[in-house]
Amino acid sequence: MKKIPLYKLIFAILDIFVLFTSFVVSMYMLRKDPSLGFVEFINVAQELILGFFLVSIIFIIIFYYNGLYRLNVVLSRASHLTHILKALYYGALNIVLASIIIESSQIIESRLLIFLVILVALPSLYIIRTELMRRLYLMFSSSGFRRNILILGDGKSGKLLAAKLMYENPIGLEVVGFVDDNKKIGEEVVSDAKVIGRFNEIESIIKKYHVDELIVAIDDESHDKLLEIIDVCKKLDVMVRITSELFDVVGEKVATEKYADIPVIDVSSHYNNVFTLSLKRIFDIVTSIFVAIVLSPIIILILIAIKLSSSGKIFFTQTRIGKNGKEFQIYKFRSMKELKEGEGEDEERRKQMLDFMKDENAGGGTKVINDDRITWIGKFIRKSSLDELPQLLNVIKGEMSLVGPRPCLPYEYENYDEWQKRRVEVIPGCTGVWQVWGRSSVSFHESVVLDLYYINNMSPWFDVQIMLQTVPAIITGKGAK
């Protein structure tokens, strides 16, 4: 809790109050017995009210992942309203589920519940968040909401951030200084912001200056060194964020918080624990079985089309690297003509892929394919990602998750740099961050950085968000090959 800024806690508490009140008021207005007074209604509908209190808490998770607790959103009227509308849209799905549960209730009429809750909540959230709390934040940003920031390194983004916060700072962030091993203690970096210590002194500096957040701003080190520094920082009891050219792709592809219009990426320790991982596993199994049943007619049609398109097996299996470097067999629908004996195209593809992996500036995605071998049905199922439906079996077996970094080939893993091997710290997934926000428009290095961002911010709701955004990515076929 210490890592969470005070203003975010206050906003979350007020949001729960507004949403819960909106639910209760809407339920009271839709009561089937008009003779019931408000107090009598509360006594009769206690179980429903408790249920909607839980739904209000779920809304907070939706608000969080839709950016409603980011400073750049909180302080902008237009952006604030847009994000409230977006969050309420996604939150309406929860109201639908709640409405189904109470459909048989004799206490309220649920058919108008979604409309009425949003009708009450939208103006209430706007008035309290945008007009009241935004002004209070600006009023108290120099005292109650003030946060001390320590910047690690002297990267361009870090120096620009320091300059902006020192000269045009309406958000209550105070730069206490820089930590740098290559400059003298006391050397000025930006205006009055000076080097106040070394990397090995971070813990004592945090205590001495009452630091609330660390901003890692290192551009001139390797990914390995940068990730080592982040690992050290994550063990400290403060919020850790990064603004670095090495992680620029995250700010370009993913909506992140901004300080003075400069993207800062949250890399603090999050939800990678036994409870959330168990919840993720249960969700994977239930959802995979449900999707397989619902799409069974489409699966049957694909099976027939593959058999008619060319000779060969219906399924394509391939060795991939799973969690902690363990090998497993991945399943796909065959989308290409099978190679004849003696043809060595795989070796050519391997060479192209390794060259692609070594080129940090190469764009165009991580797929190297021969278009001539793709069948007519293969073009469709690859473009729509339907060729990956058999991976639901991998998910049920526990070899894959619905969401996670894409599993690589053994020879790719053997040629990973050490920092890139961090992407196998979790179970690989059918879809992930780079498939949704990057797909085939990012380089290999950028896809790894996006996967590392996911690993660090992994949570059940983040998975749901990625899955919901995977659907339009599949429908449009953007970047797919």
Q: Tell me which amino acid residue 222 is.
A: S
Per residue in 378-428, pLDDT (tens digit) is 888 888 888 999 999 999 999 999 999 999 999 999 999 888 999 999 999
Answer whether 220's CB lies under 8 Å from 158's CB. no
pLDDT number for residue 287:
92
CA distance 66 to 61: 9
Better pLDDT: 401 or 311: 401
pLDDT number for residue 310:
85
* pLDDT-wise least confident of 218-232, 262-276, 340-354: 340-354
Per residue in 430-442, pLDDT (tens digit) is 998 877 776 556 7
Q: Average pLDDT, stretch 268-284?
A: 79
Q: Phi, psi (5° rounding) for residue 280?
A: -65, -40
Would you tell me how many other CB atoms lie within 10 Å of the CB of residue 395? Answer: 24
**Among the ranges 100-109, 138-147, 329-338, 451-460, which has the highest mean pLDDT value?**
329-338
Query: Could you name the CATH architecture of 147-266?
Result: 3-Layer(aba) Sandwich (3.40)
Per the prediction, the chain carries an average pLDDT of: 82
Per residue in 46-89, pLDDT (tens digit) is 877 888 888 888 888 888 888 888 877 887 788 888 889 888 88
Q: For the chain, give the number of residues.
A: 481
Q: Average pLDDT, stretch 113-119?
A: 84
Q: Average pLDDT, stretch 92-103?
A: 65
SS (H, E, C) 372-409: HHECHHHHHHHHCCHHHCCHHHHHHHCCCEEECCCCCC
Which residues fall within 8 angstroms of residue 128, CB to CB, at 6 or more apart? 14, 18
Can you read off the two tokens belonging to residue 432? 């992930």
pLDDT number for residue 1:
47
Q: Given pLDDT bands bounded at 50, 70 and 90, which one contains residue 19?
A: very high
pLDDT number for residue 97:
65
Q: Given pLDDT bands bounded at 50, 70 and 90, which one contains residue 141?
A: low
* pLDDT-wise least confident of 18-22, 136-140, 258-262, 447-451: 136-140
SS (H, E, C) 225-287: HHHHHHHHHHCCCCEEEECCHHHHHHHHHCCCEEECCEEEEECCCCCCCHHHHHHHHHHHHHH
Q: Report the percentage of the chain scoring pLDDT > 90.
A: 25
Burial 156-172 (b: 16+ CB within 10 A, else e): ebbbbbbbbbbeeeebb
* pLDDT-wise least confident of 27-36, 164-173, 214-223: 164-173
CATH 3.40.50.720-classified regions of the chain: 147-266
Would you tell me how many other CB atoms lie within 10 Å of the CB of residue 22? Answer: 23
Can you read off the two tokens belonging to residue 365? 């995605």
CA distance 172 to 175: 10
- pTM of the entire structure? 0.75
pLDDT number for residue 226:
86
Answer whether 95's CB lies under 8 Å from 111's CB. no
